[in-house]
């Protein structure tokens, strides 16, 4: 062991703890013991594509990309602005989303279904009117389908770009099919089950998408004014750059984001990849803690 190794190990553990606290909450270790340690049947296994994708550090830029893409639907964005408290409690929202994804991917069938039932119950109470006067409801299957498609597309795109070993074509189709299992139980009537079908769903929503003031405000909050201490902002900025670099070109202008293909190819994607690699390195400490 070199003199540098203990220093790097301490840095790794400290970074893992900071990430865990932000993403999963201060009670993350207790949640992890329940999700990973409970005995019982599971929908997925470590060999499944959905397990590999959702356990990877590429989920960090993927989550930012998904939020940006989802915000382009005015009714979905109105629901987020009116009910999620993303500005007042952004980390609480992230932690609830993280727990849902972790439980439905890695947890027992019983725990996963309980999470789905809880979210469906919350959706029944989330309704209102968008600034343009149109009513919205979080339980609307059409909006649920958009939210699911934006997430699945973002998670898969980010993994394929930033993971050390991307999925094969057949594995990518399998990922979409496995993600559809949870989406169907959440209330999406006919979720896509292949990459091609997922692309068709995304394309079918484009006439409905718009860069509303609420969407652009959310983009500024995510990309320019995240509620982070100064020490954490450079790392987050690198992940955000990685997220924007894999956002579709057609989604940029409505959100007021520039299209700089050369800069993104030379800077944005490499920086995003490097930041994701650092997060992946830190996450190894958490995995070691979960090993029996």
**pLDDT tens per residue, range 52-66:** 999 888 888 888 899
pTM of the model: 0.83
Q: How confident is the model at residue 8 (pLDDT cuts 50, 70, 90)?
A: very low
Q: Is the dihedral of CA 19, 41, 147, 269 positive or negative?
A: positive
Measure the CA–CA gap between 288 and 280, rounded to whole angstroms.
13
The pLDDT assigned to 257 comes to: 85
- Enter the tokens of residue 260: 């700089």
The pLDDT assigned to 84 comes to: 64
Question: Is the pLDDT score of 281 beyond 50?
Answer: no
Measure the CA–CA gap between 219 and 1, rounded to whole angstroms.
45
The pLDDT assigned to 262 comes to: 41
The pLDDT assigned to 266 comes to: 45
Measure the CA–CA gap between 249 and 258, rounded to whole angstroms.
9
| pLDDT tens digits, one per residue of 108-167 | 999 999 999 999 999 999 999 999 999 999 999 999 999 999 999 999 999 999 888 999
Question: Is the pLDDT score of 210 beyond 50?
Answer: yes
Answer yes or no: are the C-beta atoms of 186 and 120 closer than 8 Å: yes
Measure the CA–CA gap between 253 and 268, rounded to whole angstroms.
17
Least confident of 18-22, 27-31, 174-178: 18-22
Q: How many CB atoms neighbour CB 78 within 10 A?
A: 22
Answer yes or no: are the C-beta atoms of 167 and 52 closer than 8 Å: yes
Span between the terminal Cα atoms of the chain, in Å? 24
Length of the chain: 292
- Enter the tokens of residue 286: 């958490």
Measure the CA–CA gap between 292 and 287, rounded to whole angstroms.
10
């Amino acid at each position: 062991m070199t003199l540098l190794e203990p220093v790097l190990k301490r840095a790794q553990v400290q970074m893992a703890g900071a990430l865990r606290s932000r993403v999963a909450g201060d009670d993350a270790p207790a949640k992890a013991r329940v999700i990973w340690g409970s005995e019982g049947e599971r929908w997925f296994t470590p060999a499944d594509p959905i397990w590999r994708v959702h356990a990877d550090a590429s989920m960090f830029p993927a989550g930012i990309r998904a939020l940006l893409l989802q915000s382009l639907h005015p009714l979905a964005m109105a629901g987020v602005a009116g009910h999620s408290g993303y500005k007042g409690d952004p980390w609480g929202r992230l932690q609830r989303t993280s727990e849902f994804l972790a439980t439905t991917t890695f947890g027992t069938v019983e725990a996963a279904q309980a999470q789905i039932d809880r979210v469906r119950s919350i959706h029944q109470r989330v309704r209102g009117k968008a600034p343009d006067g149109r009513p919205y409801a979080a339980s609307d299957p059409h909006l649920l389908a958009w939210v699911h498609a934006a997430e699945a597309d973002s998670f898969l795109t980010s993994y394929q770009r930033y993971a050390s070993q991307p999925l094969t074509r057949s594995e990518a189709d399998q990922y979409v099919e496995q993600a559809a299992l949870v989406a169907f139980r959440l209330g999406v009537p006919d979720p896509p089950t292949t990459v091609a079908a997922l692309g068709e769903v995304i394309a079918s929503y484009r006439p409905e998408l718009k860069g509303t003031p609420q969407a652009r405000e959310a983009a500024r909050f995510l990309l320019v004014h995240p509620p982070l201490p100064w020490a954490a902002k450079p790392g987050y900025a690198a992940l955000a750059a990685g997220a924007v670099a894999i956002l579709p070109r057609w989604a940029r202008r409505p959100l007021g984001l520039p299209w700089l293909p050369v800069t993104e190819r030379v800077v944005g994607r490499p920086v995003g990849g490097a930041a994701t690699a650092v997060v992946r390195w830190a996450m190894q400490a958490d995995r070691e803690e979960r090993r029996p």
